[in-house]
Amino acid sequence: MTPWRGKAIGFLLGLLTRRVQFMVLGLIVGHLFDLGLFRARADNPPPPASPPVDPYAVLGLLPSASDEEVEQAFRRHISEYHPDRVANAAREIRDLAETRAREINAAYETIQQQRRKG
């Protein structure tokens, strides 16, 4: 972008109001735009992706576990961490239970998908 485009647009928008203070404000905002103050910063890299989670470890199983064992482990873990069990608890505990229940559900779904493919 050319170094004067923001200033020109800001000034023209201020000129439309026919007030000197808005023309000056348009120039200032345009100048800040030209400096790149309103652009997204590329020097902040995105946070690193979390490492892949082993779905069997989430359910406390070995990969050689049978379908029945997977089902039992899922039901046992989800009954412990279901958010309805801690509905009257503190907000932090409810959030932790919801997060853990999501992890358990995701692990169970992953195992089910892997076994359907294989």
Whole-number average pLDDT of the chain: 85
Q: What pLDDT digit, counting tens, does each position of 43-63 carry?
A: 667 677 777 889 999 999 999
Q: What pLDDT digit, counting tens, does each position of 59-83 carry?
A: 999 999 999 999 999 999 999 988 8
- Measured distance CA(22)–CA(46) in Å, rounded: 38
> What domains, with CATH codes, occur in the chain?
5-35 (no CATH), 55-117 (1.10.287.110)
DSSP the chain: --TTHHHHHHHHHHHHHT-HHHHHHHHHHHHHHHHTTTSPPSSSPPPPPPPPP-HHHHHT--TT--HHHHHHHHHHHHHHH-GGGGTTS-HHHHHHHHHHHHHHHHHHHHHHHHHHH-
pTM for this structure? 0.57
pLDDT at 36: 77
